[in-house]
Structure 1
Amino acid sequence: MSFEKKYKHSVDVKDLFFSYGGPPIIDHMDLQLDAGNRCILVGANGAGKTTLLKILAGKRMVPGAIKVLGQDAFLDGPVGITYLGTEWANNPVVKSDLSVEYLLKSMGSHRWPERTQVLLTVLDVDVKWRMHQISDGQRRRVQLAMGLLHPWELLLLDEVTVDLDVLARADFLNFLKVETEERGCTIVYATHIFDGLGDWATHIGHVADGRCLSMNKVDNFPAFEEIKLQHKQEGRVDSPLTTLCIKWLREDRDRLRNIKNVDPVTGLPHSKWDEMSDNMKKNGDKYYNYWKR
C-alpha cells in the first residue's frame, strides 16, 4: 500500500556519525524507511540503537542532515514525531499522587476523545487509577496512552513494552499495526523481546558496532524464510524471529570478543564505553519536557 506524503522517506539517514569525543557510538550509519513501515531494530546492548532513536527524535545534534518526515530532525523539530523510552519511569511525577485522568487531560485528551477511549481500551487503563498506587506494568500502560494521544507520523519506541504482560503487549502491537496501515505512519522499535513480532514487522534492521549491518524486508528475506521453514519441518513452536535474532547477537558477541582490548589492570575487556567522559552534559540530550507539545 502506498501513501501520499510530502516527503520521500519518513527516515533518511546517510553516513551518520556520532561520538562523545572518543570512539564512535554510531559509525557512518545509513537507514531509510518509508510511510507505513514497521521496523524492528535488533542489536546487543551498546550497539547504538538508543542513541539512534534519540537522534531521530531530535534530542541530540549531530553533524550533517538527519532527515525525518522530510525535515532536519534537530534544527527543524518536525511535528509528528513521538519518542517513548524507558527513562519516563524515573520521573518523580509518574509516582506521585495524581490520577490518570488528570495526566491525560494535561496531555490534551479532550482534543481527541475517541482516540483517548481507544487507547484506554487497548491498554486496559482505568482513568481513576492513582499513579502512586499502581504497578510498574500499569504505569507503563499509562505512559503509552499519554504518549500516543497525539496522532503521530513517526513513532520511536525504545524497549517500552518490557513491563507489559502478554495480552497487553499483543493488543498494543495490533493497535500500532492498524495505525501504520490506516494512516501511513512509520515505527522504529528497538527491543529484545521478539515473540509475536515475526508477522508484525515489515522490516528487520540489524545494528552492531554503531552501524546498520542490514535492513531486510520481511516479505523478501531468504534467511528468515529458511529459518521459518526449518521450524516448520522440525515442528518447533518457538519464534523463528527469535532464532534469527539470537543468531545475529551471538555472531556480534563473538566478533566483539575477538577485537576488544583487554584492560591490563582488571583483565576485563575494554570497550568504547569505558573511554567515554563521565560528563556528557554538553553532548547529551536536548531538554525534553514530556508535557510540552
Structure 2
Amino acid sequence: MDEVSVTKLTFSHGPGVAPSLVDISLNLPTGSRTILIGANGAGKSTLLQILAGKRLITANGADVRIKGKDVFREYPHGVTFLGTEWYDYISSSPKNASLRASASRAMNPVVRGDIVVSQFLDSVGGYRYKERRDRLLDILDVDLDWHMHAISDGERRRVQLVMGLMQAFDVLLLDEVTVDLDVLVRDDLLKFLKEDSESRGATIIYATHIYDGLNDFPTHIAHMRLGAFVTQPTPWSSSHATAVATFGARTLYDVALQWLKDDRDFRRNLEKSGRKARGARIDVVPSDSETFYKKYDYAH
C-alpha cells in the first residue's frame, strides 16, 4: 500500500473560481522523500494543505488518503504539516486547543510575545519528547533562554521547527518552511530529516524554491504547473549520468531551473492567446491613478 495516495483531485477555492488543482493523481511509497517543483501559484501549497486535511474537497470522485485513511473522514495519526505560518502546525494538534486559538489571531501573540523558548516548548509538550527535542535544539542551534519577541525571524523559525519535529512523524508535509534559515542550519536540518526518513521509513513531501544543497536529499521529484502535474513523482538519482539520462540535466538545481523556464514560456504563450498578461502595461491612455498622482507630484 502506498503511504500517500491521491486520485482524481480537482480543487477550487470557491464557487466560480478557476480550479487551483486539476485532476491530480499521485502515489508515493513509504520512506520516499519527494520534492515538489513549480513556479509560484503552481498549486504546491494547496496540494499540501489538502493532504494535511486543512481544505475540504467536494469534487465527485476525488480520493485523498494517507496511510490508507481518508484525510477528511478518518485522518491518520503521525502526520505533521509545517508551513510558513505558525498556526499551520499548531492547528493540526488537537491537544493544543488554547494555543491554536491564540496563534490564529492576526497579531499572533503566542509566538511574538515575551515568553522564554524553554517555557514555550514545555507548553506544547516538549518534555514528552525530551531526547528528540534536545537533538533538534542542537541541530537548529536554539538557545532555550531566547525570548520569542526579541529574536529574528530566522531564529523564530528554528523554534517552530523544533516544536513541529520533536514528535516523531510518519508523514511530513513541508511548505517553504526552511526559507528563513541560514545555509548551515538548513543543511544540518536536511541531513537530520534524510536520516530520520531512512532509519524509520518516514515519508516526506517538501515544496521549496531553494534547490542548493538538495541534490542528495530526494528519492523522487515532481513538476507542477498551473494546478496539474507536468511530471509525476519520478525517482531521482544524484548521479550526474542518471540525472542527465532521465531529466536532461546534471543536478536538481539545473532540472528545477529548466522546468521553471519551461513554465514561464508556457504561460507567455497562453498570454499571446488571450490569457491575462503579467508585467508592465504599455497603455496609450494613462490610468486614473497615474493621472491623479502626476497632478500632485511635487518632486520636480
Shorter-chain TM-score tier? 0.7 to 0.9
3-state SS of paired residue (1:126): coil
Three-state SS of the structure 2 residue aligned to 1:176 is helix
Partner of residue 85 from structure 1, selected from 77, 83, 86: 83
Q: Distance in 1 between matches of 2:136 and 2:263?
A: 37
- The 8 Å contact of residues 8 and 63 in structure 2, kept in 1 or not, is answered as no
Alignment match, 2:197: 180
**Partners of 1:230 and 1:93 in 2: how far apart?**
45
Could you tell me which runs of 5 or more consecutive residues in structure 2 were left unpaired when the two chains were aligned: 88-106, 282-300
Q: Give the match's secondary structure for 2:86.
A: helix
Matched, 1:76 2:74: yes
1:251 aligns with 2:262: yes
Q: Which residue of 2 aligns with 1:26?
A: 21
Cα 1:56–1:92 change in 2 (3 A) is: same
Distance (whole Å) between structure 2 residues aligned to residue 65 and residue 229 of structure 1? 33
Once the 2 structures are TM-superposed, how far is the Cα of residue 18 of structure 1 from its aligned partner?
Answer: 0.3
Give 1:91 shift. Answer: 2.8
Task: Specify the alignment match of 2:6 in structure 1.
Answer: 13
Rounded to whole Å, the distance in 2 between the matches of 1:263 and 1:125 is 46
Aligned mate of 1:216, from 230, 234, 240: 234
Aligned-pair identity (%):
47
Conserved in 2, the CA contact under 8 Å of 1:40 and 1:188? yes
Measured after TM superposition, the shift of residue 124 of structure 1 is: 0.7
The one-letter code matched in structure 2 to 1:185 is A
* TM-score using structure 2 length: 0.79
Residues 51 and 71, structure 2, Cα contact 8 Å, conserved in 1: yes
Alignment root-mean-square deviation, CA: 2.3
Relative to structure 1, the CA distance from residue 196 to residue 228 in structure 2 (aligned partners, 3 Å threshold; closer, same or farther) is farther
**TM-superposition CA deviations, 1:188-223 (whole Å, max 9, x none):** 000000011111110001011211221210139977
- What CA distance in whole angstroms lies between the structure 1 residues aligned with 2:264 and 2:248? 26
Which structure would you say has the larger Rg? Answer: 2
Distance of aligned partners of 1:205 and 1:229 in 2 relative to their CA distance in 1, 3 Å threshold: closer
Matches within 5 A, 1:9-158: 9-19=2-12, 20-21=14-15, 22-63=17-58, 64-88=62-86, 91-158=108-175
Q: How many residue pairs are counted as aligned between the two chains?
A: 252
**Cα distance in structure 2, aligned partners of 1:195 and 1:263:** 33
One-letter code aligned to 1:225 = V
Q: Determine the C-alpha separation between the residues in 2 that align with 1:246 and 1:228.
A: 12
Paired letter, 1:116: R
Q: Secondary structure at the match of 2:237?
A: helix
Counterpart in 1 of 2:244?
A: 225
| CA distance, structure 2, for counterparts of residue 262 and residue 227 of structure 1 | 32
CA distance in structure 1 between the partners assigned to 2:116 and 2:123 by the alignment: 11
TM-score normalised by the chain length of structure 1: 0.80
Return the alpha-carbon distance in structure 2 between the equivalents of residues 210 and 112 of structure 1. Answer: 38
